[in-house]
Chain A
Amino acid sequence: MSEREEDHMDDATNAQDSSLVREDELLGLFDRRRSDAAAFREGVAERIRSREQEAARSVDGPSASWRRAAGLAPGLFGGGAAAALKGLGVKTAGLKGLSLWFLLPAALTAAAFGVFAFGASSLRDGGPVPSEDEDLEAVQRRFQRYARAAWIGIFALMFLGASRFGFDLIVLWFVLAMASLLHGVRALAGQGELDRAGVTKMALSVLAFPAMQMVLHAIQLGLPMPSSDLGMGPAVAFATLAAMAATLARPVAVRVYGVFMGLVLIVLLNGAEVTYSNARGVRSGAENIVLDVEELRGWEDVADAYLALVAVGAEPFETDAIRASVLAAIHDPEVVVHPVVWAAAYDMGLLGPADLAALAAREGLERGDLTSLNPTYYYRYEIAAHLAAESYSEAELEAAAQEVLSKWPVAGDHGALDDVAYVLRGLEALGRDDLIDELARPALALLEWYWVAPRSFGSPFHRAGGFSSDPEKYPSFDDDTLRGLQLMARFGVPEGVDLRWVQDYLRRQARAFPLYPELMPDLDLKARAGLLQLREGIGLPERGILRAIVGERFTVSVVLAILLAALAIGLAPREASAVQGCQP
C-alpha cells in the first residue's frame, strides 16, 4: 500500500470520527487566505530573476576593506601585534617591551570592548538569532545553564588559588556575562518574548548576583588588583546605582527584585575599601593614638606616620604632649621604658642634644659602646645619644663609622631592611653622607631581594607586593614595607620592584569600610603612611592611556557590562510582541 493510499485511509478513518473537525470545514476555514497558485509561481520566478541579476552585478570580489583585513590577519596571528599594527598605520614605538603580563590583560580588555561593541551593534540592529523550535522556557534554561557553568568554572579557578588572576577572572566573568546576556536577549527576541521587564531581570541575574558574590569573595580574600589606581570602589558604586535604576523597571516583581539587588549592592559597596591615603587621614590617624611611655603600643606607628608626613612635605601632627611625656620619662628612672619609645621620639626629632645626653646617662651608655653597637633597629638612637653625651676624636668617629658599616646585612639575613635602616641612621648621626652614597647600589640589591614578588598561582593569603623580613618564608609585612619605602625614597626604585604591586599591597592593608566604624585605626596607620609616601613622595610610574585602560579593566568591564545591559533594557519593547500566528 502506498503512502498516499495510507493517507487516504487515515483521512477516511478520521472523517468518520465525529469528535474531529471535518477536513472540508478546515479547508473552508482557510479559503479566503489561499493564494493564487499561478501568481505565487510567478512571484517566485520574479524573485529568482531579481536575485540572479543581483548576483551578476556583484562579481567584483571581496571589498577593499576585507582585503585589508585579510592582509592584517597573518600579522596578528603569526608575525606579532606590532608588525600587524604597523600595517594599519598605528605607531608602535610605545609598544616596545610589552610583556605577557600586559598582553594577557590587554587581550581581556579588548575582549570586553569587543563583546560590548558587537553586542551594542547587534542589539541596535534588532538582530535576534531566533531558534524556532525552542520554547521560552528552553531558552531560559539554556541561558541559566551557560551562566551557571561559567560562574562555577570561574569560581573554581579562584578557589584553586589563581590569586594573581583573581580580578582578571572577574573581568572574564563580565565578558562572558555580556555574551550570555546578549545570547539570552537575542533568544528571547527570537521567541517574540522580549520585553523590558524580562531583559531587566535577566541583566540583574546575570550581572548583579554572580558579580556580587565574586566581588565579595575578592574583598574577603583581598585579591590583588595591582594595575588599578581606582580600585574596585567606583565600579561597585556604579553597579549599585545601576541596580537601583533598574528598579524603575516594571512589573512590580522586577522592581522588588531590583530593590533587593540594590540593597545587597549597598552592603557590598561598603566593601569598596578606602583605597587612597592622604596627609589629613594619616595625621588624624596618628593623633587618635593615645601613647603611653610605659606601653609599646602605637609608638612605631606614630613615628612612621610622622616620617611619612615630613617626607611628602606635609604638616606633621602636634607633638608637644608626646615630647613632654618622653622627657619626663627620661628624667624619671623609676619609669620602665622600652627602647622603642626612645627610638620613636628620636625619629620624630623630639630629642635635642641635651635630651639625648640625659637619655645616654639614663640608659647607662658608656664611651666604649660606640665601637660595639647593638644593631637592633630600635637602638638606632644610641649613636646620636653617645655623640651628644661625649666628645670623640676623628679616629674614634672613623672607628664608629666602620663599626656601623660592619652591621650592613647580606641577602638572606633575617630582617635585613631594618639593619640597612639602622646603618643609615647611624651614618647620618655620624655625618658620613659620603659613605651613605656608596651604599646605594647594595641597598637597591637588597631591596630587590626582600621584595615579595607576586606568584602566578598560589594561595591568596600569601600577600605579595610588599617587603618581607624573609620573602622565601613569609609574605609581606607592613613594617618591612615601610622600611623598603623609606629606602626607596632615598636610593630610588630597583628595577625588579613593581611599585604598583607595592601600592596594591598597602591598599589592601589600609582598607577601611565606609559603613563600619574603625575600631582600631592604628592597626592600619603604618600601611596608610606607606601609601602616602609611595603616592606623594616616591610617585608611581607614569603610564599611557592604553596601559591605564588595561590597568582599569575591572572598572572598564563593569561599566561596559552595565551599559550593554542598559542598552538592551532600553531597546526592549515595554511588552512582548503579540505574535500568535496568522488567523484564518
Chain B
Amino acid sequence: MTRSPDSPGPPPQGLTPSSAMNDDVLDRWIEAFRGPLVGLVASWSNDWREAEEVAQDALAEAWVGRDRFEGDPEDLGAAGAWLRGIAFRLHAARRRGRARLRLVGGRKEDGPLDLAVLPVDGEDPRMEALRSAFGELSSEHQSVLRMRYLEPTSNREVAALLGRTEKAVEHLLRRARKELHRLAERRLDPDGGGRER
C-alpha cells in the first residue's frame, strides 16, 4: 500500500526524479486510488461506466505525463491532487464532446439507465431504504460515501483526492453516515423513524 511521509519504512523518495518512477509506483497509485477516484468522478456524472473510464484515463494520462509531475510519487496528497486535476480535465473534455453531439445530433447527455436508482429484486428492505435514501443526501455526502465505500479503502486516500485532511474526511463521513441512517430510518418507519437518537 502507500506510505505516509512521516511513517517508518523505506527512505523517502520525494527527491526521486519522476522519470525514474517504476511500474510499482503505478501499481501503488491504482491500488490506492482506484475506488476513490472512480467514486469521485461518479459524483460529476450519472454514468458509472463513464466514471470508471475517466478514472482509467486519468491514471494512464498521469503515468504517461509523469515527467511533468513535480511532487513525490510516494506522497499520496501530491499524487491525489495530480490525479484529481487530470480526472476533472478529462471529465470536462468528455462533457464538451457530449455538448457538441447534443448540438449536432440532439443526443441526450446521460445514459438513461444510470439516471435512476435501479431496483434490486428481493433486496433486504434495509438496503432498499439505504439505496433510495442515498439520493436524498447532499452531493458532498454522496461523494464522500462513494469514494470511501465503492472499494474497501481508507480515509487517507479519500483525503488525498479531495485535498482535505483525514480528520475532515472522517467528520464528513460521520455526518454522511448519520444523515443516511436518519433518512433510511424515516423510510423504514415513517411514523417514528428519522428522529435523532
Binding site for B on A (CB under 8 A): 2-4, 7, 10, 14, 18-21, 23, 25-30, 32-35, 37, 40-41, 43-44, 47-48, 50-52, 55, 124-130, 132, 189-190, 571, 573, 577-584
Question: What residue of chain A has the Cβ atom nearest to residue B114's Cβ?
Answer: A582
Closest 8 CB pairs of A and B: A126-B99, A47-B60, A582-B42, A20-B177, A26-B149, A43-B56, A581-B43, A51-B64
A6 CB to nearest chain B CB (Å): 8
- Interface flags for B150-180 (1: CB within 8 Å of A; 0: not) read 1110111000000000100010001001101
CA distance A573 to B106 in the complex (A): 11
Please name all residues of chain A whose beta carbon is closer than 8 Å to the beta carbon of B184 when the two chains form the complex.
Answer: 21
* Contact residues in A for B130 (Cβ distance below 8 Å): 21, 25-26, 29
The answer for the CA separation of A582 and B48 in the assembled complex, in Å, is 6
Q: Which among B150, B154, B170 is the interface contact of A30 at CB below 8 angstroms?
A: B150
A170 to chain B, nearest CB (A): 33
B145 — which chain A residues lie within 8 A by C-beta?
26
Once A21-B180, A125-B99, A126-B95 are accepted as A-B contacts, the answer to whether A583 and B150 lie under 8 Å apart by CB is no
Given A21-B181, A126-B102, A128-B96: A44 and B7 within 8 A (CB)?
no
Q: Name the prevailing secondary structure of the B interface residues.
A: helix
How many whole Å from A195's CB to the nearest CB in chain B?
13
Residues of B within 8 A of A129 (CB): 92
Known: A26-B149, A29-B130, A578-B46. Contact between A55 and B64, CB under 8 A? Answer: yes
Contact among A3, A18, A44, A580 for B60, CB-based, below 8 A: A44
The docked-state distance in angstroms from the alpha carbon of A29 to that of B178 is 15
Report the minimum CB–CB distance from A507 to chain B (whole Å): 44
- Complex CA gap A124/B100 in Å reads 7
What are 30 A-to-B residue pairs whose CB atoms are below 8 Å?
A2-B7, A19-B178, A19-B182, A19-B196, A21-B180, A26-B145, A26-B148, A26-B177, A30-B150, A32-B120, A33-B150, A43-B56, A47-B57, A50-B60, A125-B100, A126-B97, A128-B95, A130-B95, A577-B110, A579-B45, A580-B46, A580-B139, A581-B44, A581-B45, A582-B47, A582-B48, A583-B116, A583-B131, A583-B135, A584-B131
* B88 & A44 in contact (Cβ 8 Å cutoff): no
Check if B174 sits within 8 Å of A40, measured CB to CB: no
User: Given A7-B155, A29-B127, A52-B64, are A583 and B117 also a contact pair (CB < 8 Å)?
Assistant: yes
Q: Give chain B's interface residues, CB within 8 Å of chain A.
A: 4, 7, 26-27, 30, 34-35, 38, 42-48, 51-53, 55-57, 59-61, 63-64, 88, 92, 95-100, 102-103, 109-110, 114-118, 120, 126-127, 130-131, 134-135, 139, 142-143, 145-146, 148-152, 154-156, 166, 170, 174, 177-178, 180-182, 184, 196-197
Q: Which residues of chain A have C-beta atoms less than 8 A from B100's C-beta?
A: 125-126
Contact of A581 among B30, B60, B142, B182 (CB under 8 A): B142
> Would you give the shortest CB distance from A364 to chain B, in whole angstroms?
88
Closest residue on chain A to residue B23 by CB atoms: A45
* Least Cβ–Cβ distance between B155 and chain A, in angstroms: 6
List of A residues within 8 angstroms of B131 by Cβ: 29, 583-584
- B152 partner, pick from A27, A52, A189, A583, beta carbons under 8 A: A27
Not counting A21-B180, A41-B27, A579-B110, a sample of 14 additional A-B residue pairs whose C-beta atoms are within 8 angstroms of each other reads A3-B4, A14-B174, A21-B177, A29-B131, A30-B149, A43-B56, A47-B61, A51-B64, A126-B96, A132-B44, A578-B115, A579-B44, A581-B45, A582-B48
- Closest residue of chain B to A28, judged by CB? B127
Give bound CA distance, A43 to B30, whole Å. Answer: 11
Contact in complex: B146, A14 (CB < 8 Å): no
In the bound complex, CA of A578 to CA of B112 (Å) = 11
In the complex the two chains form, is A19's CB within 8 Å of B197's CB?
yes
Q: Is the CB of B38 within 8 A of A35?
A: yes
A132 to B143, CA, bound (A): 12
**How far, in angstroms, from A14 to B170 measured CA to CA in the complex?**
10
Contact of A3 among B115, B150, B156, B197 (CB under 8 A): B156
Q: How far is the CA of A581 from the CA of B102 in the complex (A)?
A: 20
